[in-house]
Chains A and B, each alone.
Chain A
Amino acid sequence: QKEVEQNSGPLSVPEGAIASLNCTYSDRGSQSFFWYRQYSGKSPELIMSIYSNGDKEDGRFTAQLNKASQYVSLLIRDSQPSDSATYLCAVLSGSARQLTFGSGTQLTVLP
């Protein structure tokens, strides 16, 4: 059973702080890892993808991957109220190459 686990939250951080979102996955053969942001009533929006161990930075977002620990995280620096959303971790694995999503972490950035 392929699983992707996230803390459901809610996670609250003050404006300007660093928000740290975590995700673990069970399938060691997983190939690619993604973070999606979903505002209430909207569709998931891809914000980061990471394929190899280490850090990947894009603006205020940094994705971190540790395949040995089966762990992927997303850091949001200088958090803004507009970052308040549910963040979904997704893992691509298996011969069918299908995405498995975590249940999401609800982030609230307080002004």
Chain B
Amino acid sequence: DTAVSQTPKYLVTQMGNDKSIKCEQNLGHDTMYWYKQDSKKFLKIMFSYNNKELIINETVPNRFSPKSPDKAHLNLHINSLELGDSAVYFCASSQDFWEQFFGPGTRLTVL
């Protein structure tokens, strides 16, 4: 019954590693997103993906790359992880850029 799901829930890794976070939605939505919430709880858009159109927040380093195998999935790949990448990453989905529904989040800790 989970509408937006993410795996893993927790991810602990060393600096310099490459990791991926997976997201799936079963709401039939056509748009998916990745957000980063930092230690001060500020929630910031990283990417939105709609009908194969990727919109990237210009502040996101190119070490981050979203990949969407189909409309129901949007994965986030992170290369060469840095300490500052530690945060909670949320996936979300919506229909036509309207009301967005969030997944449970992935807490990434880079050591």
Question: Which A residues form the contact surface with B (CB < 8 A)?
Answer: 32, 34, 36, 38, 42-46, 49, 86, 88, 92, 96-101, 103-104
Cβ–Cβ contact A46 & B99, under 8 A: yes
Question: CA A36 – CA B43 in complex, angstroms?
Answer: 11
On whether the beta carbons of A44 and B48 are closer than 8 Å, the reply is no
A49 CA / B95 CA spacing, docked (Å): 14
Interchain Cβ contacts under 8 Å between A and B, 27 examples: A32-B98, A34-B100, A42-B105, A43-B90, A43-B102, A43-B103, A43-B104, A43-B105, A44-B43, A44-B90, A45-B102, A46-B101, A49-B99, A86-B41, A98-B48, A98-B55, A99-B33, A99-B100, A100-B45, A101-B42, A101-B43, A103-B40, A103-B41, A103-B42, A104-B41, A104-B42, A104-B43
* Chain B residues in 8 Å Cβ range of A86: 41
Q: How far is the CA of A36 from the CA of B52 in the complex (A)?
A: 27
A-B contact count (CB 8 A): 46
